[in-house]
Structure 1
Amino acid sequence: MDLYSRKIVGSEVFLGESAANSQQVIERALLREGVAHRPIVLHGDNGPAMKAATLTARLDQLGVKPSYSRPRVSDDNPFSEALFRTCKYRPDYPPNGFADVHEARDWVLGFVRWYNHEHRHSSLRYVTPQERHEGRDQAILARRHAIYTAAKQANPRRWSGRTRNWEPVGAVWLNPEKALEAA
C-alpha cells in the first residue's frame, strides 16, 4: 500500500508465505508503478519472509530501504491494519474461507479494484486512492468546496457553522511523533 494515497500497489495470493513470494510482489509493484530504483521505504512486519537475507539484498539492489514494525507492537502500521479490517468486513468476504487459491485470487483482485477505484476514504476527504495517487484529489476537492460554498450562500439558514473541510490532506507519516521529533 502506498501510504500517501492508500492505493494498493501490489497484491498476490500464494499458497504459502516466503521471501521469494514477497520479492515477486514487491518487484512487480515497483515496476508497475514506475518507481524501481527510486528512493522508496518499504515498511513490513518482522516475519521471516520480510527479513530474509535474499529479500533484503534484492531490496538493496532496487534502492528500497526496509523499515520494520517494532517487535510485539501489533498496531505499528495502522494503515495496513485499517486495510485488513476493510477487507474482512466487506459483505462479500467469505466467512468460511475460500474453496481454493483461484477463488481467493479472484476475490482479492475484485477487492483491490474496488478499494483503489471506488472506495472513498474518509481520511482522504472522500476521494479514492487512485484519485489521490494520480493527483486528481486537489481538483475534486476544490469543486466540492465550491459546491458547498455556493449551497451555503444560497441557503444560509441551513448551515449552523462552516462547511465541510475540503482542503487536500497533506503529508502522511507512519509514526508522526517520530517524524516531528526528527524535524
Structure 2
Amino acid sequence: MSTAIAAAVDDAVGELVPLVGAKAGCAAVGVARASFYRARPAGKATAAPSPEPERKPQVQPRALSEAERAAVLEVLHSKRFADAAPATVYATLLDEGTYLASESTMYRLLRERGETGDRRRHATHPAKVKPELVAASPNQVWSWDITKLAGPAKWTYYYLYLILDIFSRYPVGWMVASRESATLAERLIAETVRKQQADRNQLTLHADRGSSMASKPVAFLLADLGVTKSHSRPHCSNDNPYSEAQFKTLKYRPDFPDRFGCIEDARVFCDRFFAWYAHDHRHSGIGLHTPADVHYGRAHTVSEARGRVLDAAHAAHPERFVRKPPQSPKLPAAAWINKPQDKEEPTQ
C-alpha cells in the first residue's frame, strides 16, 4: 500500500473510530482492520469512542402508580384474600364489578416481594403422644398384633393374632384365621381376658393403628371390660417392640416353612411353637427364665434353685471363679414400652 493511500485510509477510518469504533469504521470504508493498523504511523493511538450518555429509565406510561400498586397489595394481603390465588382474587373482584389490575400484574407485584409460593395457611396437628407403659407384674400390660403367614399359593395368606404379656413374654392368647377382622379380634380379646381373669381397670392393651386394632368394636369391648387401650404412634414400629420381636422369633425358627399347605398346617405349627416358647424357651429378656415360669410366679423358685447349684459349684472349685461367686441372671423388676430417659430400672 502506497504512502498516499495509507494516509487516506488512516484519515477516513480515523474520523469514524471515535464515533463507531475501529471495526465498524473499517467496515464502512471497506478496508480490512489489519491494513488500517499497518497504515497508522507508529505511536499513534486510536482514539477511544466517546462514552454514551447515561440513559435515564423511561417511565412506562401504562404502569400502575405507587398508590395503585399499594391498593392492589392491600387487597391481596387482606384477610379475605390472604389464602387465595391471584387468579381467584382477579375473578372475584370482576364479579363484584371491580378492576384493580390484571392477573399477571398481581403475580408480578407478589413476585417482587417473594410471595408467589403457596400462600395458604397450612393446618398444623399436634404430634401423637409417645406411649410410655410399664408393667411390674403379669397381666398389667399386654401387647397384641397381627402378622401374615404365607399360604399355599401366591397372594394367599393366613393371619396370626397374638396377645403377649410384656412382663412375662407369655403368649396369653393367639389365633390363626383366614382373614383380618375386628370381630375375630374382639372375640380373641374377650376370651383371653376371661381366661386370665384380669380385673377391671387392671390391664392396658397396647397395639399399633391397624384397622382391626383401631376399630370401634374393639374399642367398645375394651371399655366394657374395663381395659385401657393404648396405640403406637403412626408409622412407628418401635412403639410395639414385644410383638415385633416375638414374630421375628417365630419366623426365624429353623422349621418355619416358606408356605403353609393349609390353615390347619399353620395352626398345628403355631400350637407347637407357642408351647415351646412358653414352657421351654429361656428368654434373655427375663433372666433366662421361661415365660410360663415368670407369668405364673415360679421364676423366684427356679432362681433360688439355680443359686444353690452355683453355690455348690463355687464351693467345689473356688479357684475357677476369680472375680466373684457366680450368680444366676436377675429377673427385671419392670418391663417398659418407651422407658423415659430419667427412669432407672431396678432388678429383683
Question: Do the structures match in fold with TM over 0.5?
Answer: yes
CA distance in 1, matches of 2:186, 2:199: 13
CA distance in 1, matches of 2:280, 2:189: 24
TM-score after normalising by structure 1 = 0.91
CA distance in 2, matches of 1:124, 1:139: 14
Question: How far is 1:160 from its partner?
Answer: 2.8
CA distance in 1, matches of 2:286, 2:237: 24
**2:320 aligned residue:** 158
Structure 2 contact 176–266 (Cα < 8 Å) conserved? yes
Higher strand share: 2
CA distance in 2, matches of 1:100, 1:178: 46
> Aligned letter for 1:18?
S
Structure 1 contact 7–129 (Cα < 8 Å) conserved? yes
**2:236 aligned residue:** 73
Deviations 1:131-169 (A, max 9, x none): 111100001111112221221122112113232343332
2:279 to 102, 114, 117: 117
Deviations 1:80-101 (A, max 9, x none): 1211111011111102x11111
Whether 1:108 and 2:263 are equivalent positions in the alignment is no
TM-score after normalising by structure 2 = 0.49
CA distance in 2, matches of 1:101, 1:76: 30
Structure 1 contact 59–66 (Cα < 8 Å) conserved? yes
Higher helix share: 1
Structure 1 contact 37–64 (Cα < 8 Å) conserved? yes
Question: How far is 1:178 from its partner?
Answer: 7.1
Ranges of 4+ aligned residues in structure 1 off by more than 6 Å: none
Backbone CA RMSD of aligned residues: 1.8
Identity of aligned residues (%): 36
**1:99 aligned residue:** 261
Q: Determine which structure has more spread, i.e. the larger CA radius of gyration.
A: 2
2:293 to 115, 128, 131: 131
The change in CA–CA distance for 1:125 and 1:168 in structure 2 (over 3 A counts) is: same
- Of structures 1 and 2, the one with the larger relative CO (CA 8 A, separation 6+) is 1
The runs of 5 or more residues in structure 2 that have no matched partner are 1-163
Deviations 1:1-42 (A, max 9, x none): 011110000100111111111111111111111115352100
